[in-house]
A and B are shown apart, each in its own frame.
Chain A
Amino acid sequence: MPEPFVNLTAVAAPLEMSNVDTDQILPARYLRRPRDERYATYGFHDLRFTPEGAKRDDFLLNRAPFDRAAILVAQRNFGVGSSREAAVYALLAMGVRCVVAESFGDIFFNNSLKNGLLPVRLPEAACADLRAQLLARPGADISVDLEAGTLTAPDGTVHGFAIPPFARDCLLRGLDEIGLTMTLMHEIEAFEAMRSGQTG
């Protein structure tokens, strides 16, 4: 079951990157690992660590206060590429609960919603403004209110965002879709009966 997501006020980190693909969020060699707390070190692994395993200071998420960030603000096409849901597990393990971007990879967007990670789409200018504020005031908070569908910038500017209603309900209540779909089982069975009637 995903954790419910209602609202969140937390340190946010600006990621001046577009096309952050899920291979970068979670390198393929970690995909064979079972889901556990080690996912916190797998997240963005090759950007965070040198091949010898040393922390790379040139990567923002390695530096205080951004190493505490629960919100990331990126550019366009965050989470494109591979369908690996484990990329979402890695972000969650790192403590990230919300990603703001101009656009998201389609499957990543769905995977996030199903695991209690909130993907917030905002226009290019709004994302750029948020990143500029976060750079100017390191450690500043962003507030997200899912019920109201609003995100509040460090300077108090309020941006509205939309999440598909069904996914939003599930997130707010921490429900998973399987349980909800099970209540429609009679319709699934009726569909199968109708189809076998057609072909038989």
Chain B
Amino acid sequence: MSTATTEHAVHADGIWKIFNEGQPNEVTALQDVNLTVESGEFISLIGPSGCGKSTLLRVIADLTDATRGDMRVAGHTPPEARQQQLYGMAFQQAALFDWRSVRRNVELPLELQGWDKAKRKARALELLDMVQLADFAEHRPWELSGGMQQRVAIARSLSVDPAILLMDEPFGALDEMTRERMQNELLRIRKETGKSIVFVTHSIPEAVYLSDRVVVMSPRPGRITHIIEVPLGSERDEDTREADTFFDAVTAVREALRGRVGGSDARAKVGEV
């Protein structure tokens, strides 16, 4: 879109996030994080619980602020980016409002931006068409399955046409089959819209299948340990999941996760805070 194309989607320079700084219960959630997400790039943040991947996403989204360091989102500070709606966000919970129809849930960000009714409706229907839920526009959220609800949430996050999508484990609560279908949907939406995407996940195959680069993080203190390029190109489909390059990338990510931490279940062993 506008300024976003000329800037990096996200540029993190020496980001620290320390909870309860100076107190006995001090926790370093992020330690000196440096990361650049190119415009149009798909980046996954992966790592065990407590590695700070969600915290990093929340700093980008201005849902929390960095203790130190400089964060730029489409060239702006996170508060500016939030105020100008330069990003859209989707969470693990669809967080739809039961008292609104599916269509009016998608319209919500537009309503907050002061769009007029007819334009809002047209835009929402266009997006529901893209996530293949046009027939459910006037349904209530509770009438939809978990996967459909999450598609509505994605449509909602796209409604103001932001340059960047921030996704915090959006498929985490879905079953494996639905999850894989949703991943294909997301790849298609990405291709159609050219968004830059920062995607937080627990799943190695999911990160590899979706991303251009996988950012591997480790806990205590939360930091980036590896950044792995995924050489799968831009055309990905079900066959990709069975390709050798795919398995190689999965192995690379898995080894990176083990490299420093000794496996994702070894959190308790590492006590270097």
> Do A and B truly interact?
no
Residues of A within 8 A of B (CB): none
